Amino acid sequence: MSDVLTQLHEAICRHLNVIYDGIPLSTSYEELAHQLLAQMRLVNNAALTPPAPHTNLWSEQDVVLITYGDSIESNVHPPLSCLHHFLNDYCKDVINSVHLLPFFPYSSDDGFSVIDYSSVNESMGSWEHVEAIAQRYRLMADLVINHCSARSVWFENFIRGEHPGKDYFFTAEPTDDLSKVVRPRTSPLLRETITRDGVKHVWCTFSHDQVDFDFRNPDVLNTFVDIIRYYLDNGIRIFRLDAVAFLWKEIGTPCINQQQTHEVVKLLRTLLEHAQPDAMIITETNIPNRENLTYFGNANEAHAIYNFSLPPLLVNTLVTGDCRYLKSWMMSMPPAQHGTTYFNFIASHDGIGLRPAEGLLSDKELETLIATMQLFGGLVSMRTSSDNVQRPYEINISLFDALKGTIKGEDQLGMPRFLCAHTIMFGLEGIPGIYIHSLLGTRNDYERLENSGHNRAINRHRWQFETLTKHLQNSDSPHHQVLSEMLRLLSIRTQQPAFHPNATQFTLHLGTQLFGYWRQSIDRKQSIFCISNITDKSQLLSLADVNLIGTEEWVDLISSHAISLSLTQIELAPYQTMWLSNKIQRP
């Protein structure tokens, strides 16, 4: 065994010791570590080298499109083929990465109740279609690691008492103390299930069709390492660990963010960075901000974490015309260490999460935000808190509709307000992720909502390829206008070293009606002042507050207008953003 492999084997054993401490196992940590290394094909890898610490696997050119495999459909081609055509026709020169939401056979929750982790849903296409996208775009896929479908072979085997699956699922008793358990849903936690061995009560964090795994069984960990290897072989390079915060359960605890959960993520990173050095882990943890930050570990856990607090804070800023809460949060956020970064987004296939706003927005602000979103056609999904009270969990609405007005009501500034949200997000420290329905300016889908009966369906529209193409070829269509401007902004963004995900960021103090921050490139050659009018009235920016260096030439990258330092003030139109950059010499 080489020195590198020996060190790796020892590191895996240390992870396993933390995960399974106090749990009797049928095999030793050393043997289990060997199994994991063998599954990742690391045992006989003569070229194995230790990963360089604090390596950034991203740059300012990285932009991720978030989409379902069937967000675009056609009667002629499989949906994954339609998506590939859309990417190549409109996005290939600007967007270089794709988060393909679960594309496996499933029984509910639009893919997040996986029946078979090794197959592509036939209604979407095949592995060949997935691999074709992966050849041109960096591909992110979900590792739905907390639960699977109650219709999976594993759960059927659990009921029959057969392997694999017999010991895969977490069970508890109704008499157990479950009062501290944190829930994201209102459904009963335990599902009564008749098995060969009698009645068992299966743990279901999300729904009774989504049965939770029991990671106390090392076979479950082995299974998911095998899945990771299979996904790597099929071109996937970014692994989104879905709902990972709930992974480890222990009776009498909140069953969220457990030490063992963090250690599992660390173990997976250790394996992944040796097997595929350019691969990444991103944790999907829709929880309060401080808890979310812990998934960075010490630059040894997730490569990236979702910036879950950004969507509710940014939407609140734009509908109230007051940035004090957004600014306060920005000032509290630690810069990500090299080797880690934030994943920024303001819309996704889920709703606008409200738990990440806990402690950041006051109860009154949350009530006003919820009421405004309901006024614009949005819905509210609830959760059951530890005190057995139902509380708002997320707002379900398309972002285009969420920003069509303010707390005063709908107005004619929806488009600039919507674009303002994105120009703010595009410049922030981290990698930007854009939901396909934001890129296309899709509205609330009430028909899909009614047909499905699920609140989240309101923002999961399925476009017909031919209909979408007609819209995008019509310059008068709002979908064409949104896509064109978004791509223009992104094409500017991806050329700026100061927008590197790990470039320096400082929050500016410009009052409550102008929101601003400063970015400086890692080599310190470029500075960009990102300043947005977040109100429905024109606002004056005092250049003295920005302090542009007089020996430099400055330009607004968005408008291409040079900035004369003889000016004392600049007027910003409602929802206008300026990216004020010094001119830099390009190689």
Long-range contacts of 91-96 (CB under 8 A, 24+ apart): 91/65, 91/439, 91/487, 92/136, 93/491, 94/63, 94/487, 94/490, 94/491, 94/494, 95/63, 95/64, 95/65, 95/137, 95/434, 95/490, 96/61, 96/62, 96/63, 96/137, 96/138
Q: Is 333:296 a contact under the CB 8 Å cutoff?
A: no
**pLDDT at position 387 over 80:** no
pLDDT bracket for residue 549 (50, 70, 90): confident
Range 131-152 average pLDDT: 98
Q: For 380, what's the count of Cα atoms within 13 Å in the CB-facing half-sphere? A: 18
User: What is the residue-wise DSSP string for 360-386?
Assistant: TB-HHHHHHHHHHHHHTT-EEEEEE-T
For residue 585, pLDDT beyond 80? no
Q: Is 242 a catalytic residue?
A: yes
268 and 281 Cβ atoms separated by less than 8 Å: yes
In this prediction, residue 186 carries a pLDDT of 86
How sure is the predictor about 388, in pLDDT bands with cuts at 50, 70 and 90? confident
Above 60 in pLDDT, residue 371? yes
Q: What is the pLDDT of residues 489-503, one digit of tens each?
A: 999 999 999 999 999
The average pLDDT across 329-348 equals: 97
- Please count the other Cβ atoms lying within 10 Å of the Cβ belonging to residue 24: 6
Amino acid 17 reads N
In this predicted structure, what is the pLDDT of residue 384?
A: 76
pLDDT > 90? residue 512: yes
Kindly tell me if the per-residue pLDDT of 559 is higher than 90.
yes
Query: Who's near 570: CB < 8 A, 6+ residues apart?
Result: 540, 541, 543, 563, 578
Task: pLDDT band for 383, please (50, 70, 90 cuts).
Answer: confident
Peptide bond preceding 164 in cis form (omega within 30 of 0): yes
The phi and psi torsions of 306 (rounded to 5 degrees) equal: -65, 135
Alpha helices in 189-309 (DSSP H): 218-233, 259-275, 289-293
Give residue 587's pLDDT: 44
Among 22-31, 38-47, 118-127, 233-242, the range scoring the smallest mean pLDDT is 38-47
* Residue 342 token pair: 């934030």
For residue 202, the SS3 value is strand
Q: What is the helix (H) or strand (E) element at residue 134, kind and residue range?
A: helix 127-136
Residue 182, pLDDT score:
92
- The structure tokens listed for 227 are 């899945």
Mean confidence (pLDDT) of the chain = 96
What the chain holds in terms of domains, given with CATH numbers, is: 149-212 (3.90.400.10), 504-582 (2.60.40.1180)
Higher pLDDT, 351 or 429: 429
Query: Any idea which of 137-141, 314-318, 382-386, 466-470 has the lowest mean pLDDT?
Result: 382-386
pLDDT at residue 309 is higher than 50: yes
Q: Indicate if the pLDDT at residue 180 is higher than 70.
A: yes
- Percent of the chain having pLDDT more than 70? 99
Nearest to 520 by CA among 502, 503, 501: 503
Residues 54-99 have pLDDT tens digits of 999 999 999 999 999 999 999 999 999 999 999 999 999 999 999 9
User: How confident is the model over 205-235, as pLDDT tens digits?
Assistant: 999 999 999 999 999 999 999 999 999 999 9
DSSP per-residue codes, 25-61: -SS-HHHHHHHHHHHTT-TT-TT--PPPTT-----TT
Per-residue pLDDT averaged across 135-163, rounded? 98
pLDDT of residue 586: 54
Predicted local distance difference test score (pLDDT) of residue 36: 98
Of the listed ranges 48-52, 292-296, 479-483, the one predicted with least confidence: 48-52
- Give strand pairing partners of 542: 569
Taking the C-alpha atoms of residue 15 and residue 215, their distance in angstroms, rounded to an integer, is 14
Cβ atoms of 296 and 337 closer than 8 Å: yes
Sheet holding 171-172, edge to edge: 171-172, 198-203, 190-195
Would you state the pLDDT for residue 47? 79
Taking the C-alpha atoms of residue 14 and residue 28, their distance in angstroms, rounded to an integer, is 12
- Quote the tokens at residue 555: 């330009």
Give 411-426 pLDDT, tens digit per residue.
999 999 999 999 999 9
Partners of residue 100 on adjacent β-strands:
67, 141
Nearest CA to 66 out of 285, 284, 348 is that of 348
pLDDT above 90: percentage of residues in the chain: 91
Q: Is residue 402 a contact partner of residue 378, using CB atoms and an 8 Å limit? A: yes
List 214, 242, 322, 401, catalytic entry: 242
Q: Is residue 550's pLDDT more than 90?
A: no
Short-list 414, 432, 280, CA closest to 346: 432
Band of residue 46 on the pLDDT scale cut at 50, 70, 90? confident
